[in-house]
Every structure is written in C-alpha cells, then in structure tokens.
Structure 1
Amino acid sequence: MATSQVTAVPGTVGISELEQLAQDIASKTQEFITVLRKNGCPLPSHDADAPRNDALPLEGTTLQSTLMDLTTELQTLVQGPRLHVHNQILAHVNLVNLHAIYSFKLPSVVPTEGSISYAELAAKIQVNEDVVRRIARYAITKHIFREVDGGDGIAHSATSKMLAESPMMMEWIGMVCEEMWPAATQAVPALAKWPRSQEPQHSGFALAHGLETHVFDMLVDQPERAARFANAMVYFNSNADLAPHHICDAFDWESVSKVVDIGGSAGSTAVALATRLPQVSIVIQDQAVLEDQARQSIPVALADRVSFIAHDFFQDQPVSDADVYHFRWIFHDWPDRYCVKLLKTLTPALKSGARVIVSDFVVPESGTTLRYKEGLVRGFDLAMMELFNAREREQRDWQRLFDEADSQFRFEGVKTVPGAELAFISATWQPPNT
C-alpha cells in the first residue's frame, strides 16, 4: 500500500523506517526552502509581522503536501499506537477552543499591533478572566496567539492575525463549530436509525438540528445561517487550488459556444469561464432568491454573455441548445439516487454531443496517493455523510451514476489539472444513430 513518498538512500543497509523518514524530511525540507527562495517567497514563520505565503507556486504546494505526509507519518510512528489513538481522541477539544475564538471574536478584539492584558480582554468579552486565560493558553499551544508581558497579556501570532484579517475564514470556523460539529455527534446514530436510507434528511445534521428536510431548504427560511454557509463557501473558493477557472484547462473549449452552470449560485464560475473564454455565453441557474446577487456579481463587460435563470435543478432542464451543462460541488451534497435524478432531468434537453461536466472531489483508490492527501478527501466524505447523508465518490462511482441515469451517456472519465483540488468528471450524450 502506498503511503509516504519515502525514497531509498543509496548505500544504506538495514536503515530503519524512522531513520528513513528523518532523512527524507530533511531532504524535502531543503527542497521546499530552495523553491520558496527561488520564487521570492518568504520562509514560514509564526511571527505576526512576517509576510504570509498565501499563494505558493505549484512545485511548492507539491512539496508542502509531501512534507505534511512525511511529518505526519513520523509523528504517528514516534507516538506509537496507544498515544496515536489517545491524541486523536483529545483532538475534539480543538473545536471547543475554536468555537470560543469564533464566538467571542478574539482575533478582532486582540489589537493588530501591541497586546492586551487578560484582565482587559476578559472585560471586553464579558467572560471570567480565568476562563479567558485557559482558552487563550490552549490556543497558544497551537500557535494561535502568543503570550506577552510575563504571562499577563496576549498578542497576535501569524495564525491569529490571519484570522483577524480573514472574516470569511472565521465564518467557516463558525459553520463547522455550530452546524457541522453537532451533526458529527449524531452521524452514527443516524446511520443506526436509517441504515439503508437514500434520503438527505436522514443525516446526523437532521438529528442534531431537528430537521425534516434538506439543509438547503432549511436555510431559505434562516437568512443568518444561510449567509454563514455562503460566506464559508466564499472562503473555500478563494483558495487558489479551488478557484473555478481551473475547469478552463481541463477541456478543449474551442467548439463550445454555450454553457449552463447548474446550481451556479452567485456566478463565480460563470464569470471565471466568460472571462477566459470570450466566445462562450453562460446561463447561471439557481434559486430565485440568488438572482439579484448573481446579477450584481456579473461585470458590465460580461453582461451580454452571462445571464441568470431561476431553476430548480430537480425539474426538467429548460435550456436545450447548450454544448456543456456544468455542476460544481453539487453532487456531493446529495445521495446517489438524487444524483441520478439530477442527470435524468437533463436528458430531454440534451443535443447529440452535449457534454455534462461535474467539478467535484474524486476519492482516490485506497493507497494510490499520499496518505495525507487521501485522508483529506476521505474526511470530506464523512463530512458529507454527517451533513446530507451524501458522499464523495471514486471514479467508478461516478461512472455508475451516469450508467444508471441513461445508457446514452458515454462516460469520459476523470480529468485533473495541476494545482486544482477538484477533479472534472465528464460524459457526452450520444443517442443511437448519431
């Protein structure tokens, strides 16, 4: 089984796994430093005033993942089985700490420059000073904040300053702590209660929040929670590896003149496509409540090529002359039978040769990539289970969805783009005698 990319050291005999990891970590760390310096990037630092590496070059992100994998393997090996499990169990307190940081808005209360005493901080957030110290001191062990003035005050670290300057990331923390964490505690009870269900409301989220419908239906009537969900997605889409423009590099768009972006929200993907593909017109489809936001997000220069239509994607597709129908991060919100239904709603509108593209995670087959990278995607899979009774999918799962929807779909497989976390799954519509 493939795990870390540990390379053999020439001339060594009987080197232990621990020594091998240590040597590889030293080697890859030096490579990482060389890449950063070559590209004019600052070296990593916990100093709040140090410049941040928010956009590493591709070779830098590749080395970053390799180092994360190697160092995680080293930590696991050094801990041994008992301590490894022990530390995983205790990790739940990270969310207790982050929830407090989010709820009391600590990053914005601590001054950007200088420091604040624990007594003053406690008075500002109206929490007992002893509790504030305990929360802050645990955070400091994770390099969130730093202690000053002989232990009487608190100041920013690089991480806490980043949180102070990233309101959308704070919204993501809030969503995880107040929406997903309660759902996680009820994920297994939901599996026991509805063991073979294909309904999105049969989830840990539904049990935790007393919900009898899909999460997104609930959000329509709760604008504050809906805004937090939306802002969390804005944060995700702001990361370079999840930027919507990567789809432009996955396919040949020369013969494409019209695209329908289904579930396109406020239009970030449509704008990215239209900006890079001047011959393409794009129709955004989503709930009517998003129409004003979508229209405001479309630059004036693109207004003649980007439009919005209110549409429920479980109803038959109204646009019948498009070359491409695109779903970005839609399918992983739904159980399989609903994904098949999504595809079936397209078939009456599809012309011969029309392509369906799904931008989503593709789970690697077990052991075929770095254990660290595989763990991230499989973690998202469990998160989709707890939220929606849904899942992330392997390539064979994607092919099965298209096969079940209609035999006239020709599955084209999965394409990846260097630097993109999402993969691009596609199929073309090929009716008989065409």
Structure 2
Amino acid sequence: MSCPADQYLMLGIQYICRYKLAELVPLHGETTFDAIASAAGLPVKDVTRFLRLTAGWHVFHETSKGAVVHTAASRQLLDNPMLKAWINNIAEEFWPSLARTVDATERWPGSEEPNESGYSLSHNTDENPFNVIKRDPARQQRFMDVQSFSHQHFTFNVEHLLNGYDFGSVRSLVDVGGAHGEVAIALARKYPHMKIVVQDQPEVIKGLEKRIPEELKNRIHGMEHDFFTPQPVNGADAYLLRWVFHNWSDKYCVKILQSLVPSLKKQAKIIINDICIPEPGQLGIAADCGLRQMDILMKAFNNARERDAETWEMLFTLADPRFNFLGIKLPQGARMAIIQAEWTGGEQ
C-alpha cells in the first residue's frame, strides 16, 4: 500500500475499480476474461490486458489461459470496504494529480493556493479540491472513510498522543477539526475532569452526538466551525489540531493559527499532532523516501505539504511573535509527532 503507488499497478487498479471488475469474479471458483468483459460491457482485449497487468502484483491470478480467480489481494476489494474506499480515493482523486504536478509548477510557480495544483489541472477545476469532493456525497463519504481507515494503522493510533503528552492540567480542550470525535472520546475516558468541544465542518460534525457514549455526553459537545474564521471558544486551556496542518500550505496554516489568537488566554497551549520529517540522513533511505513521496503527494493535491522541525517553528513565528514554541516530541512507535506552543500574550 502506497499513496503515490507504482504507476502501472495504480493504472490497473484504477481500471478494476472504475468498472467494478472485482465484483464480477466469484469468491470461490474461476471465471474468464470473456465473461468479465461481457458482464461489464467492456472490450475483452482491454479487460485481459489490465487484469494480466495487475496479476504481476498478485491482484487476481490467471489459472490457465483466459481463466481468472481471486487472490488474497484482489479479495480485499470485496472483503474490506474501507480499504476499497482508500484505493478508490487514491486512484480517482490523488493519483491523476501527480501526472500534472510539474505542469502546475510551470503554470503557477511557487503557488500556495489549493486551487492551483496538479489536482486543478487533472480534474479541470479552479476550486479547492475539498470543495469539489464535498459537493458529491458519495465522494465526501469515501474521503471521510479514508481518513478513518488511514488512522487504523498502529503508528497513527491515538494512544501515542495520549501517552506522549500529559493532559493532566487541561480541564477544557477544543479539538479543532476533530471530525467524528474519536480523539475526544479517548481523551475524555482517560481524563474524567476534561471537557471537550469538537469542531468541524457541518457535514462532518453531523451525527457526532450519536457517536458519543452516554456516560461522556455531558463532557463532549460538537460545534460547527471553519478553522479559518475566528475561534469561537474563548479561554480554553488547550487547542488540539490533529492531522489538520498537513492538508494545507504554509500560508493557510498561518491563517489557522492566527484565527485562534482572539480567543487565547495567557499560557493556553496549542497542541499539533502531525507528521514531522526528520533531518536529512536521520532515517534510512526507504523511510525517508516514503515521507518525501507523501510530501509531494500533498503538493499535487492542493499545494499542501509535510514539514520538518524548522518549518513547524516558522509557522508559529509567522503567525504571531507571542507564540512561544515549546518543541517537538515523537513518541516511540508513532508516525505523528506532538508539536507544542504556548500563548504568551495577555487575556484576549
């Protein structure tokens, strides 16, 4: 599994997903390229070539000439709906953007705008990709499923945050961009003194009340909020932004931080849980390459980026000199670092 992916494998996967070919192969027993093509209404030559292509990565297996069966890999397209959503999202939303990213750098040199990227050219749009996806309920649901699926990996587990940061003195917390409240629920269970406001877009926060366990309903509340607008919750002890900043360019991350300022009390903590790329040479080649690929993938999508320690500190400096950068900690086994700052200004 790789977000950038091998281009030929992803081409084959995109074809399979676009025409729902996995559903046309029986779970037990075999079928033929001819039968699949007939059921899908596709040219048998194309079906044969694409399925033989992906078979090189063990996605389907040709048992004899023209006969095909599922493999453990291809069955995942049927047995694991969230993985299927992840693959479809990469194939349809992200992967085409990579092919036009260099074109975008030529057309919009140095742009930090989300609507001036490889996605803009490959999807023929002048809108922010998030807005494009949001207009289609099926694509929006798939995108939200992808976020949930991605964080099922143990390196993204919320326990790394809970064990890596002492929230003991935090009695009121705002989970900015808190989605479905998974992190808020985990925090509320561990810290029975904590009250939490979960903020997100209306279509995301909808239904939060049903997800909150009954015993936590008096301590977790949902709120519609656009994090580019002034923060409406005044005087909280801490503001948490988990897996938010990597979706935006530096310009817009500075705006997110500045939108917090009007509501911050002295010594309020800003806690960011996101990827921090180590210094060059600190990782092995393969691990470093994976992070660099993710960085370029985010550029291709909407000119967002992954960041190193120097860049994280720079964001706070640019946002407001009254932010005191407290440093970065990477819990053992975690993919996402804990980036901290404190507000040193007076009461707002």
Structure 2 length as normaliser, TM-score?
0.92
State how many pairs are aligned: 343
Q: Please, which moves more after superposition, 252-261 or 219-228?
A: 219-228
Q: How does 1:282-431 map to 2 (within 5 A)?
A: 282-431=196-345
**Partners of 1:110 and 1:300 in 2: CA distance:** 43
Aligned counterpart for 1:164 among listed residues 78, 95, 103: 78
Which position in structure 2 is the counterpart of 1:239? 153
Q: Please, which moves more after superposition, 123-132 or 260-269?
A: 123-132
Q: Does 1:96 align with 2:11?
A: yes
Compute the displacement of 1:98 (Å): 0.8
Q: Is the 8 A contact 2:97 2:119 kept in 1?
A: yes
Percent of aligned positions that are identical: 34
Which position in structure 1 is the counterpart of 2:178? 264
Compute the displacement of 1:432 (Å): 6.9
Which position in structure 2 is the counterpart of 1:50? none
**Partners of 2:47 and 2:110 in 1: CA distance:** 45
Give the AA of the match of 1:108: E
Compute the displacement of 1:382 (Å): 0.3
Aligned counterpart for 2:69 among listed residues 148, 152, 155: 155
Compute the displacement of 1:305 (Å): 1.4
**Partners of 1:126 and 1:302 in 2: CA distance:** 52
Q: Is the 8 A contact 2:327 2:339 kept in 1?
A: yes
**Partners of 1:218 and 1:96 in 2: CA distance:** 23
Q: Is the 8 A contact 1:146 1:157 kept in 2?
A: yes
Compute the displacement of 1:342 (Å): 0.9
Aligned counterpart for 2:144 among listed residues 202, 225, 230: 230
Give the AA of the match of 2:100: Q
Aligned counterpart for 1:122 among listed residues 37, 44, 60: 37
Structure 1 length as normaliser, TM-score?
0.74
Q: Is the 8 A contact 1:356 1:428 kept in 2?
A: yes
Q: How does 1:177-256 map to 2 (within 5 A)?
A: 177-256=91-170
**Partners of 1:106 and 1:328 in 2: CA distance:** 36
Q: Is the 8 A contact 2:270 2:340 kept in 1?
A: yes
**Partners of 1:98 and 1:254 in 2: CA distance:** 47
Tell me, which stretches of 5 or more residues in structure 2 are unaligned?
A: none
Q: Is the 8 A contact 1:334 1:389 kept in 2?
A: yes
**Partners of 1:298 and 1:113 in 2: CA distance:** 40
| Cα deviations by residue, 1:203-257 (Å, 9 ceiling, x for unpaired) | 1112222322322223332222222222222221222222233210111121111
Q: Which has the larger radius of gyration?
A: 1
**Partners of 1:385 and 1:368 in 2: CA distance:** 23
Which position in structure 1 is the counterpart of 2:20? 105
Compute the displacement of 1:145 (Å): 1.9
Q: Is the 8 A contact 1:245 1:269 kept in 2?
A: no
Give the AA of the match of 2:258: K
Q: Does 1:137 align with 2:52?
A: yes
**Partners of 1:320 and 1:368 in 2: CA distance:** 40
Compute the displacement of 1:338 (Å): 1.3
Q: Is the 8 A contact 1:260 1:325 kept in 2?
A: yes
**Partners of 2:325 and 2:172 in 1: CA distance:** 21
| Cα deviations by residue, 1:313-343 (Å, 9 ceiling, x for unpaired) | 1111111232211112211121212111111
Q: What is the RMSD computed on CA atoms of the aligned residues? A: 2.0
Q: Is the 8 A contact 2:266 2:346 kept in 1?
A: no
**Partners of 1:196 and 1:123 in 2: CA distance:** 48
Give the AA of the match of 2:323: F
**Partners of 1:252 and 1:155 in 2: CA distance:** 52
Q: Is the 8 A contact 2:309 2:328 kept in 1?
A: yes
Which position in structure 2 is the counterpart of 1:63? none
Q: Please, which moves more after superposition, 385-394 or 150-159?
A: 150-159
Q: Is the 8 A contact 2:195 2:220 kept in 1?
A: yes
Q: Is the 8 A contact 2:273 2:336 kept in 1?
A: yes
**Partners of 1:339 and 1:97 in 2: CA distance:** 36
| Cα deviations by residue, 1:19-40 (Å, 9 ceiling, x for unpaired) | xxxxxxxxxxxxxxxxxxxxxx
**Superposed structure 1 runs of 4+ greater than 6 Å apart:** none
Compute the displacement of 1:91 (Å): 4.2
User: Residues 91 and 308 of structure 1: is their aligned pair in 2 closer, same or farther, counting only changes over 3 Å?
Assistant: closer
**Partners of 1:124 and 1:181 in 2: CA distance:** 27
Compute the displacement of 1:310 (Å): 0.8
| Cα deviations by residue, 1:50-104 (Å, 9 ceiling, x for unpaired) | xxxxxxxxxxxxxxxxxxxxxxxxxxxxxxxxxxxxxxxx942222101012123
Tell me, which stretches of 5 or more residues in structure 1 are unaligned?
A: 1-89
Which SS does the other structure have where 1:340 is aligned? helix
Q: Is the 8 A contact 1:245 1:273 kept in 2?
A: no
- Select the structure that is richer in helix: 1
Which SS does the other structure have where 2:307 is aligned? coil
Which SS does the other structure have where 1:413 is aligned? strand
| Cα deviations by residue, 1:371-410 (Å, 9 ceiling, x for unpaired) | 1111111111101111111211110000000111122211
User: Residues 225 and 432 of structure 1: is their aligned pair in 2 closer, same or farther, counting only changes over 3 Å?
Assistant: closer
**Partners of 2:258 and 2:79 in 1: CA distance:** 44
Q: Is the 8 A contact 2:265 2:346 kept in 1?
A: no
Which SS does the other structure have where 2:272 is aligned? strand
Which position in structure 1 is the counterpart of 2:195? 281
Which position in structure 2 is the counterpart of 1:8? none
